[in-house]
Structure 1
Amino acid sequence: MFAKRVELKKKKPDNVVWDEKQEEYIARLLPYASQASGPVIKIPNVDAFKQKGVEKVSKQFQTELEELKDKIKDFVKTASDTQKVYTAKFKFEPLVGETYYLYEGDQEDYLSLIAPNQWKKKFLGAYRLSSEYKWERVEW
């Protein structure tokens, strides 16, 4: 019974911040107020932070989406041009980096070395063969 009384005497009240292991007051070490008379803990308004974050991320996503759309358009155009030239008739091996001219034929389109100002055929476009063997439209 005597031991219980000693334990009760050693126990600190609930409003006292005491570390029993270190046997010291630790209120000054806490990152928050531990007494009613301490500073008020204010919860920050995170709604403004969230709104700002959503706006920034939305703009970034919109920009990335537009870039992807442009990239897809370029891809489709290059694929279409490449297919158009490869399905045309030609009887020579095109060289990488050189410009060739696509004309409309009676039954099928054909690729030629002859520029459109040198003869009177229906000109469909000028194309250059890239190192990746893709045909790129060239302004003529």
Structure 2
Amino acid sequence: MSQDTDKQKIDVSKIDLDKEREKTTDQPGLIAFPHTVGGAVIRPEDQGKVKGRAVSAMRQQTDRQMQQLYEQAQTLAKQAQAIKERVDVSERIYSAEMNFEPIISQTYFLYQKKNGVDVLSLVSPQEWGRKHPFKAYVAKVTLLADHTWDVTLADED
């Protein structure tokens, strides 16, 4: 029994009080480890995981924004192409043969003759029947108030 009591005795002279003082604090909420034996376990955050999740979230958000910008750019490109086609057809209309003065808000039809000359007509492709005298139907057009043309190309009609 004397051996058991020797093991339980603490030699106070061997205790480094300065080192033990480093393990205590007046403000326990500021230390990164529990300050008592029964204290809650405090695990430091794995900074690599935190940064990895943040970078992943940032990339996801910027990818979404880049996709939106790409879609907007595609929409603008389609609109620009539609305007270009409208200008091309409008120029063809003003250089086409027409035996009448176009009236604002009226619909007309642009055809191409077999010799390549464009003709603006009041007659729609359906009204010609099977025998229409033109090589190709180009577009259905309506004269707008500003003397530009609202164009519906033949393949859209």
**Interval of TM-score (by shorter of Structure 1 and Structure 2):** 0.5 to 0.7
Q: Which has the larger radius of gyration?
A: 2
> Cα deviation per residue 1:55-79 (whole Å; 9 max; x = unaligned)?
1211111111121121122112211
Q: Distance between the aligned counterparts of 1:70 and 1:107, measured in 2?
A: 28
1:137 aligns with 2:129: no
Number of residue pairs aligned between Structure 1 and Structure 2: 106
Q: Is the 8 A contact 1:103 1:124 kept in 2?
A: yes
Matched residue type, 2:152: R
1:107 Cα deviation from its structure 2 partner: 6.7
Match of 1:121 in 2: 133
Change in Cα spacing, 1:52 to 1:64, as seen in structure 2 (3 Å) is: same
Paired residue secondary structure (2:30): coil
Q: Distance between the aligned counterparts of 2:104 and 2:84, measured in 1?
A: 21
Percent of residue pairs identical: 18
Runs (5+) with no aligned partner, structure 1: 1-34
Alignment of 1:53-132 (within 5 A): 53-105=61-113, 106=115, 108-116=117-125, 117-118=127-128, 120-122=132-134, 123-125=136-138, 126-132=140-146
Q: Give the CA RMSD over aligned residues.
A: 3.0
Q: Distance between the aligned counterparts of 1:70 and 1:98, measured in 2?
A: 26
Runs (5+) with no aligned partner, structure 2: 1-26, 33-43
Normalising by structure 2, report the TM-score.
Answer: 0.53
Q: Distance between the aligned counterparts of 1:57 and 1:39, measured in 2?
A: 41
Normalising by structure 1, report the TM-score.
Answer: 0.58
More helix by share: 2
Match of 2:60 among 43, 49, 52: 52
